[in-house]
Amino acid sequence: MGARVGIFDADVYGPSLPTMVSPDNRLLEMLVSFGFAGQGRAIMGELDYLVIDMPPGTGDIQLTLCQVVPLTAAVIVTTPQKLAFINVAKGIRMYHDAVVENMCHFDADGKHYYPLGRGSGSQVFQQFGIPHLFNLPIRPTLSAFGDSGMPEVVADPLGEVAKTFQDLGVCVVQQCAKIRQQVSTAVTHDKVIKAIKAKVPDSDEEFFLHPTTMRRNNRSAQIVDEWTGEQKLQYSNVPEDIEPEEIQPMGN
């Protein structure tokens, strides 16, 4: 059985999903877009993956989603010119999993031509250590198929563009699995030494915290009045022998 995938077009400024993908496409479990507002198309269901198409940049929509939704991974889409690298750097600091360079080159007379320059992709790898870089060419068919409601990956499933998107999809699935595994084992309670053990992702480093110390330094609204800053729970009220009842990972 294949993975159940939904798409959420979160670009309120210029929703493009209604043009690029037919809402009657049976390959999709869920299709939601601000472009469908008022048309009653919001088919909800159990999903394995929800792909969120965000607007360009790192504005309020991205920041809000980061704060309220446990996002697992992200694909940064950019163009090759150096000017675009500034925004890429901002996006990578928010999430860092894979980068797609759009409009990299066009083919003519059997040669590759790079109208927007080259080098930003390697700069992403050198500065941020992200080896997952995917290049997409400038192709009239990409725009034409997108405008028709049938993406090129559907119209030509064995073509060059479809292969790139397939490789990107494999990368995202593998990264999500890796991240989920890291998160599920990142924080545990060692009952023998009576300490909470935390592992640092992509590292052999780990550290230990005493449950009492964690409780006493808790800054949640249940412990500290968020308006006055008053400490509701006093240090002396926390016993030395408390233990966590349950540990549940959230997001990354």
Same domain for 199 and 142?
no
Among the three residues 167, 184, 201, which one is the final residue of a domain in this structure? Answer: 184
Domain-ending residue, one of 145, 163, 184: 184
35 and 127 in a single domain? The answer is: yes
Residue 158 pLDDT greater than 90, yes or no: yes
Q: What's the rounded Cα separation, in Å, for the pair 220 and 227? A: 12
User: Same structural domain for residues 218 and 96?
Assistant: no
What span, in angstroms and rounded, lies between the C-alpha atoms of 10 and 98?
20
179 shares a domain with 197: no
Where residue 210 falls among pLDDT bands split at 50, 70, 90?
A: very high
Same domain (yes/no): 82, 162: yes
Predicted TM-score (pTM) above 0.85: no
At residue 195, the pLDDT reads 92
Across all residues in the chain, what is the average pLDDT?
A: 79
pLDDT (average), residues 143-165:
87
Query: Which strands form 133-135's sheet, in the order they lie side by side?
Result: 75-78, 98-101, 133-135
Task: Please tell me the least confidently modeled range out of 7-16, 35-44, 57-66, 76-85.
Answer: 35-44
Residue 45 and residue 111 in one domain: yes
In which band, very low, low, confident or very high, does the pLDDT at 105 lie, cut at 50, 70 and 90? confident
User: For residue 38, is pLDDT > 60?
Assistant: no
**Residue 222 sits in which domain range?**
188-237
Pair 180, 216 in one domain: no
Question: Is there a single domain that holds both residue 81 and residue 53?
Answer: yes
Give yes or no for residue 196 having a pLDDT over 90. yes
In a domain, 249, yes or no: no
SS3 150: coil
Same domain, 206 and 140: no
Number of domains making up the chain:
2
| Within a domain: 28 | yes
Q: What's the CATH code of the domain at 165?
A: 3.40.50.300
Helix 120-128 to helix 82-94 angle, to the nearest 10 degrees? Answer: 30
- 108 plus 212 within the same structural domain: no
Q: Are residues 150 and 109 in the same domain?
A: yes
